[in-house]
Structure 1
Amino acid sequence: MGNDSAIGRLLKKALENLRLRTSRPDALIQLAILGTLAGLMTGLVIVSFRLLIEVVQISFLPYGDPENYEGLPLHLRVLLPIAGALLIAALYKLLAKKDSTVGVSHVMERLSYHQGYLGIRSFLLQYLGGAMAIISGQSLGREGPAIHLGAATSSLVGQQLGLPNNTIRTLVACGTAAAIGASFNTPLAGVIFALEVVMMEYSLASFLPVILSAVSATAVTRAVFGTEVVFSVPNFQLTNLLELPYVMFLGVVTGIAAFVFIYLTRLSALAGKKLPTWIKFTLAGCITGLLAIVAPQIMGIGYDTVNNTLVNNIGLTLLLIIFAAKLIATACSIGLGLPAGLIGPTFVIGASLGGIMGLMAQPIFPELSSSPGMYALIGMAAMMGATLQAPLAALTAVFELTSNPNIILPGMLAIVTAQLTASQLFGQRSIYRMLMQLKGLDYRHEPMVQALRRVGVANVMNRNIHRSTNIISNEKAKELVQQNKEWIVIEKDEPIAILPTSDLSNYLQDEKEEEVDEINLMEIPAKRLQVSCIDLRATADSAREYFIQEGVEALCISSTIGPDIIRVYGILTKEKFKSSYDI
């Protein structure tokens, strides 16, 4: 028993030291270990999610092909998405609370407004709902659910360890990168996506653990699924640099398509805002089912359709149909709230559009135009970049997905042109930010706020304190002065004020000749500061908000270690906070 209790105390002390250490933005070794752990756990979650989907798909789709929705009879192509939508609605009825949002926009909302805290209920909702959506052939992808699952897994690890909020935010980025890396077999794209789309910042403290997380998660999935790239394509390249103006034109057209896609998603979200969940989901399933009559290629993730487009196996007419049907079905499904992703569908839409442009160029410029597959590849990158407003993530993803470095030059040009068209010509933001704005939210990423969120309040607190009740004996007062602490935290059940020890010392000196038995620290002449308590896990940005909202002059950094037991670790004065951060 003695050894067990000693080990327990050591573990408790080590965990407390970890919490205090990771409140600092330069705790790189600790963050690197935590990032690796988050990546391994996310990798296991993504492997189980993908296996669940593929095992079920293989069991009922023709020839055991997990993407062969085209081989289903006509009536099943119509009924399967509808039945799946109803099952998802039943799941939401069982698990969802008032706010049933899942996916990337939910992760961004939790980062912006809730310090990156994600719960187990939304995890289960996304895991089961995302699997149902993809299995039932909805026009959606698995990357959105994967990002939520990775972010939630990492966030829950941080919560269980009681880590500070700045570390939990970093772990959410780790989980996001790990999820993208594990889903696409693209670790670098995962890192860029996490920092460019979700965190919207690049810093050394977040960069290193995010890289390790993406690497470890990708290693897990490669151990299970192998190392092959998602899209096996010929070594495409531009035939002639004179094609670059046409590549820019493709970027403009793709930017317009991205605007239409985001606009339709917004209209669908507004139309379904007041509808019951089961009606919204059923409507989305009906739209996909009806469009699948003429274009069954829109069902499911659609990677087989992208592969066929890249190797020129689909004609112009069918590409036009797939492009229009996939755009409409995905926009309606996302807008009406089905719990799956849109990155995969943007690849299908972009590849179809690029393939169309490539086929149209051949009779006009027969000797100059490259393969339509090359334009399909460029279209994939441009559509993802313009829709997500994430140019670097899009370019990196397509490069890693195809292992074709020839995409970089034309891809950069098309992505920038497409993004400028969507954002500047049509005033469109990222589709994720648009979905947040429809809920009355915005993704706050001011530089000062970002800097404060990278630091735990424990890193800036003053630990040179002593705790005391408000009424003390003269001997106790002398003892407090002799301990040479800077501040005295005055408590009456909980901290109510802080007092400079020097003021108590001055009082004792002044009252030397008339020594009293008891001293009330709340009544002696002194510069007392009223305080409010803030959790040890809070960030410096939370401290800033406390100072503004509570109107106090100091904060006690504390944690609850038992029923009605509060441990005070240090204090932070408003004056010190302002001088440290020049605000």
Structure 2
Amino acid sequence: MDQARKEKLRNITFLGFSVVIGILAASGAILFRTLIELFQNLFWASGTTFLEKLIHSPWWLKLLVPTAVGMFAGPLITFLAPEIKGTGIPEVIFSVAARESTIRHRVTLLKSVITSLLIGGGASVGREGPIAQIGASVGSSMAQLFKLGPEMRRAYLAAGAAAGIAATFNAPMAGTLFAVEIILLDIEIVYLSHIVISAVTGSVLSRLFWGEFPAFNVPVFHPSHPWELPIYLLLGCLAGFAAIGFVRMITFADAAFQRIPIPDWAKPALGGLLLGCLALKLPEVMGVGYDSINATLDGTLGLKMAFILLAAKMAATSLCIGSGMSGGIFAPSLVLGATLGTTVSLALSGFFPGLGLSPSNYALAGMGALVAGSTLAPITAIMTIFEITYNYRVMLPLMAACISSTLIVKYFLGYSAYEMKLLKQGVNIVRGHDVGILRSLRTREFMDRKFESLKDATPIMKVIERFMQSSYPHFVVLNEQDALVGMLSPRDLKSTLDKLEELKDIVVAADLMTTRVISLSAEDNLEKALYLFEDHKVSLLPVTDPGAPRHVLGVLKKDKLLQAYRERVLKDRILSIPAR
């Protein structure tokens, strides 16, 4: 069999693998939602909707249940899998950026059980982010199981996330765009087919299980007048500022809980107690919030209630995420956008009754706009709402609201909710294919294991002799225990050359070397190395053992990094040419 036929057979096999990933990820989403319903029925009184269950439950249960599930989940999150804390999407992005798309296998099970328990117990978080993380974990685990390379592992991680989102909303396009726009830092077109196939498979499986279900009770979208477009632009701008407030409030709550002098494992219980206190007055803040969205779309939510729920839901979700619970912000963003759109339309109608604005229309546009602002993924937000409505008339108002919201957030904040969490951890995610190439390459693969070194007690005359003999005059300085203590370059010798006769018997390498050494770990990627080279204007960096930071394994030269980059770009271009 020739090489071209082997490559085509390999591609067909990988596409079949995409179907399997879609089935497994969608099954995880179905199991996750089933667990949520199970816990809701177990913890709360009877009712046809979750809000009815809460209303029919006694007041003490609203305090006890979220506190108890927080107390149970806290130790599991803290000690078994800290990466399932919070929305889950920043951890998936980080695994793509810095861990070669590797996610631990245990994440799938623990994320499913713990987050479903919290949401079932009333936590004001979303299920979409956890479902995406579960799907991503499935894709990554399957790729690891079959020992696929980093590129395919990344593609299947994204495919799993796409399948999970597609199964949740019955929206394959939204699932695909979610994976591409939010999770992946760059995308090779050749891998897009894998993501699409998994998303379609996930959506088909969800339809087989739940039927042709709509995610919400969506009315027919009928814009009243063409001149309403400026109002949708205004709504988008307000949604942008609301998204900034939402992100800031989550960050503030996280910092506030960090300052509370109790163990981390107990903080979700405190968050649950505070949520319960808020729910005593406003039970709508508990849970995913789809009942509140349906109320805005049905036109049954009044102006005062919409405004109160907007502020209360923002506070409730911030308490849950900030305290360390596991859950997403996608659904809360939809609730905030729906209540904001309702508030804007009803307020304007109160001042200008002749406008004839439809609250449900503005609720839909607000949902997309706030998701676009909080995630900085406007195309995903637009396609999510479009696939919910399947009405092309929604597109123009939706685009106006989503793009204006995104621009406001980019200008005044600059980061999405997911990127803000990573930035707080010292991880600055830069998107783009060129950066992605460096990010996928490890220092250990390109360092020189043979390097020039000196002992710190080496006399200056011996140092000069070594410099004269070396073709690359940068020396790693080691002590008697062979631990890194400094670096020595020609510029360090300049101040001694005019007094060489006086100093030749006195000065040693330790007196001349630079002690503030900038180094790399063998596990660091070449993106970090490039930043260090540019920031510190050096041409060589020592590479140390991750487990022993002063044990030098080799050195990385800047020209070696640039050579590796050029070779990888050339390789990618060659591999992107289809076989004939």
Give the TM-score range, shorter chain: 0.7 to 0.9
Q: Among residues 134, 138, 160, which one is paired with 1:175 in the alignment?
A: 160
CA contact (8 A) 1:28 1:205 kept: no
Gaps (5+ residues) in structure 2?
A: 443-521, 534-538, 544-559, 572-580
Q: Is the deviation greater in 90-99 or in 426-435?
A: 90-99
Partner of 1:408: 395
The residue correspondences of 1:556-575 to structure 2 (distance < 5 A) are: none
Partner of 1:230: 215
The residue correspondences of 1:134-173 to structure 2 (distance < 5 A) are: 134-173=119-158
- In the alignment, the residues of structure 2 paired with residue 50 and residue 106 of structure 1 have an alpha-carbon distance, to the nearest angstrom, of 21
CA contact (8 A) 1:236 1:406 kept: yes
Give the number of aligned pairs. 464
CA contact (8 A) 2:85 2:324 kept: no
1:89 correspondence with 2:74: yes
Determine helix, strand or coil for the equivalent of 1:195: helix
Q: Partner amino acid for 1:215? A: V
Deviations 1:243-292 (A, max 9, x none): 11111111111111111100011111222335522332123212321221
Classify 1:84/1:27 alpha carbon distance in 2 versus 1 (closer, same or farther; 3 Å).
same
Classify 1:453/1:443 alpha carbon distance in 2 versus 1 (closer, same or farther; 3 Å).
closer
Classify 1:402/1:76 alpha carbon distance in 2 versus 1 (closer, same or farther; 3 Å).
farther
Q: Partner amino acid for 1:35? A: S
Determine helix, strand or coil for the equivalent of 2:355: coil
Partner of 1:486: none
1:439 correspondence with 2:425: yes
Determine helix, strand or coil for the equivalent of 2:50: coil
CA contact (8 A) 1:229 1:403 kept: no
Determine helix, strand or coil for the equivalent of 2:155: helix
Percent of aligned pairs with the same amino acid:
30
Partner of 1:303: 290
CA contact (8 A) 1:58 1:65 kept: no
- In the alignment, the residues of structure 1 paired with residue 84 and residue 46 of structure 2 have an alpha-carbon distance, to the nearest angstrom, of 40
CA contact (8 A) 1:70 1:297 kept: no
- In the alignment, the residues of structure 2 paired with residue 31 and residue 40 of structure 1 have an alpha-carbon distance, to the nearest angstrom, of 14
- In the alignment, the residues of structure 1 paired with residue 154 and residue 540 of structure 2 have an alpha-carbon distance, to the nearest angstrom, of 23
Classify 1:242/1:175 alpha carbon distance in 2 versus 1 (closer, same or farther; 3 Å).
same
CA contact (8 A) 1:118 1:156 kept: yes
Partner of 1:280: 267
Partner of 2:381: 394
Partner of 2:446: none
Q: Among residues 319, 325, 332, which one is paired with 2:312 in the alignment?
A: 325
Classify 1:205/1:539 alpha carbon distance in 2 versus 1 (closer, same or farther; 3 Å).
farther
- In the alignment, the residues of structure 2 paired with residue 346 and residue 573 of structure 1 have an alpha-carbon distance, to the nearest angstrom, of 42
Q: Partner amino acid for 1:344? A: A
Please, what TM-score do these two structures have when normalized by structure 1?
Answer: 0.73
CA contact (8 A) 1:295 1:321 kept: no
Q: Partner amino acid for 2:303? A: L
- Shift in Å, 1:312: 0.9
Q: Among residues 430, 441, 448, which one is paired with 2:434 in the alignment?
A: 448
- Shift in Å, 1:582: 6.8
Partner of 1:423: 410
- In the alignment, the residues of structure 2 paired with residue 70 and residue 408 of structure 1 have an alpha-carbon distance, to the nearest angstrom, of 37
- In the alignment, the residues of structure 2 paired with residue 60 and residue 283 of structure 1 have an alpha-carbon distance, to the nearest angstrom, of 19
- Shift in Å, 1:576: 7.9
CA contact (8 A) 2:163 2:203 kept: yes
- Shift in Å, 1:329: 0.9
Q: Among residues 337, 354, 359, which one is paired with 1:372 in the alignment?
A: 359
- In the alignment, the residues of structure 2 paired with residue 108 and residue 81 of structure 1 have an alpha-carbon distance, to the nearest angstrom, of 29
Gaps (5+ residues) in structure 1?
A: 1-16, 457-533, 553-571
1:312 correspondence with 2:299: yes
Q: Partner amino acid for 1:259? A: I
- Shift in Å, 1:540: 10
Deviations 1:302-359 (A, max 9, x none): 1111011111111111111111100111122223321011101111111011111111
Q: Partner amino acid for 2:434? A: M
CA contact (8 A) 2:83 2:91 kept: no
CA contact (8 A) 1:27 1:205 kept: no
Classify 1:193/1:573 alpha carbon distance in 2 versus 1 (closer, same or farther; 3 Å).
closer
Q: Is the deviation greater in 227-236 or in 140-149?
A: 227-236
Classify 1:163/1:544 alpha carbon distance in 2 versus 1 (closer, same or farther; 3 Å).
farther
CA contact (8 A) 2:127 2:331 kept: yes
CA contact (8 A) 2:112 2:134 kept: yes
